[in-house]
Amino acid sequence: MKRLCESFIFCTQRNENSNDSNILKLPGVPSGNWKNKYFRIKYTFGAFLFFMLACVPAVAQKPFTEGVIVYNVTLVTTDHGEYKGVYTFTIKGSEIKKELKLNNGYDDIVVLNCGAGTVYTLQSKNGKKYMIQLSISDLEKRQEKYLGFTVSNEQINSRNIAGFSAAKGNIQYKDGANVEVYYTKEWNPVQRMTYERFPDAKFLPVSYYYKDETGAIMHFDAEKIEARPVENSVFRAPADYKMISYKEYKELSQ
């Protein structure tokens, strides 16, 4: 900055001390005593414009700290069955609630408290309701293979999804797997575990798909991204659910 300012002062002084006869007569440039004033104004305006452009920040990303994100979901199974549903993310600071509902009756709810290091899922079995305690370290271990992904072949403003301009990119994982994703850079998730397959993402995915362990393919397309206040009660365990361990739940399922 100092060097730039010194350069600008030097240019101004040089014009002030220059002989008028050495300055070319240009169309629209005043002559005589007005000539030096003209060049001082010209250089001053140019420097002012440079500083203004240099100081204008790029559009800052906003961390999605509180609100609701809703995805329309299509599940295609290996036997060519197709099911529709909704996947809802409710977020408040370090707390995340994910609920997947499909039109075949499937309903899965997972509630994470990333600050406290706790996670549980709500399930019904034989007419009884259970709040099943899970291990957050197990979830972190599952996520390890997705860490350090890279984005290539980015295409800006490819589509408008859920009211946001979405870029298109190819996600590449360390094991060689890749997937095409549409995303907005206006928001980014705060917690690493918000999206299992996009840890530490600098974007919010708005359209993506993946294949699970059974070979089924799930497509997610954002319908709504709404930053708004969320009640604390959303993350509380329902009173009519019995808390059990994952081991106990597996025993009930046998």
User: What pLDDT sits at residue 249?
Assistant: 86
**CATH code, 119:** 2.50.20.10
Single pTM value for the model: 0.75
The two three-digit tokens of residue 232, written as one number? 């604390």
pLDDT of residue 125: 84
Say if residue 155 is in the same domain as residue 51.
no
Does residue 253 lie within any of the structural domains? no
pLDDT, mean over the chain? 83
For residue 173, give the 3-state DSSP assignment.
Answer: coil
51 and 85 part of one domain: no
DSSP bridge pairs for 240: none
Residue 178 inside a domain? The answer is yes
Please tell me the least confidently modeled range out of 28-42, 61-75, 142-156, 224-238: 28-42
Tens of pLDDT, residues 77-123: 999 999 999 999 999 999 999 999 999 999 999 999 999 999 999 98
Angle ∠(171,89,139) on CA atoms, nearest 5:
65
Q: What is the pLDDT of residues 216-232, one digit of tens each?
A: 999 999 999 999 999 99
Of the three residues 36, 55, 74, the one that is the final residue of a domain is 55
pLDDT digits (tens, 9 = 90+) for 21-60: 443 444 444 455 544 544 454 455 454 444 444 444 445 6
Point out which residues pair with 75 in neighbouring strands. 83, 218
Residues 154 and 228 in one domain: yes
Residue 173's pLDDT band, with cuts at 50, 70 and 90, is very high
CB atoms within 10 A of CB 211: 13
Both 120 and 41 in one domain: the answer is no
Which range marks the domain in which residue 204 is found? Answer: 62-248
What three-state secondary structure class fits 143? Answer: helix
> Are 228 and 69 contacting, i.e. CB atoms less than 8 angstroms apart?
no
- Residues 193-204 have pLDDT tens digits of 999 999 999 999
| Count of the separate structural domains present in the chain | 2
Instruction: Say how far apart CA 198 and CA 64 lie, in whole Å.
Output: 15
- Residue 221 domain flag: yes
Helix, strand or coil, per DSSP, at residue 38: helix
Q: Has residue 151 been placed in a domain?
A: yes
Q: In the structure encoding, which two tokens stand for residue 245, read together?
A: 């361990």
Q: 44 and 68: one domain?
A: no
Are residues 180 and 146 located together in one domain of the fold? yes
Q: Are strands 187-189 and 62-64 parallel, antiparallel or unpaired?
A: parallel
